[in-house]
Amino acid sequence: MEEFQRLSRDLIAHGAIIDYYQDTIMVPNGNIAKWDFIKHNGAAAVVPVDDEGRLIMVKQFRNALDRYTLEIPAGGLQSPEEPTRTAAARELSEETGYTSDHLELLLSIRTTVAFCNEKIDIYVADHLVPGSQHLDEDEFVQIFAYSVEELTEMIYSGQIQDSKTVAAILAYKDKYLK
């Protein structure tokens, strides 16, 4: 395999959840390229399954899309060292009000491999215990419950486009509903 060599990585901007770098790379033919790199600490997400087999979803406004989206509960790690299971349990409680001692890793995804290192570990939570949401000051989240069939239809009709949510629902369906 031909070699790529990073010559430098320069921080362009430090943000609240990401850092933006410009990398200088020597490609295999000796040419020099400038590539963007987004550093992310990682995240965790959870597929909450209620006693009726419905998935608990959150609806929230997403600034990047300038619209509301329907997603599985998720959030960034508080530090790169935080266990993703801990973060998934926290996000489940904060966004939905539910808690669970039964979290099982479903899959890990890389959201945008061309320019970002973000990794999201996605868990399944069942045996949900109801409680109340603990939202951040800037979070406004509504919760809904849907069957896997309803959510699958929403994926294929384009209503659900969030990559972690699409991957999670389809992986859950494949693993648990065969």
Which of the residues 2, 137, 139, 149 is marked catalytic? 137
Domain locations in the chain as residue ranges: 5-39, 41-176
CB atoms near residue 93 (< 10 Å): 19
Indicate if 137 belongs to the active site: yes
Q: How confident is the model at residue 137 (pLDDT cuts 50, 70, 90)?
A: confident
Please report the DSSP string for 28-55 in residue order: TTS-EEEEEEEEE--EEEEEEB-TTSPE
Q: Give the homologous superfamily in CATH for domain 41-176.
A: Nucleoside Triphosphate Pyrophosphohydrolase (3.90.79.10)
User: What is the signed CA dihedral for 82, 44, 138, 40, rounded to 10 degrees?
Assistant: 70
Q: Residue 10: what pLDDT? A: 98
Q: Is the pLDDT of residue 11 over 90?
A: yes
d(CA 86, CA 102): 12
- pLDDT (mean) for 155-172: 98
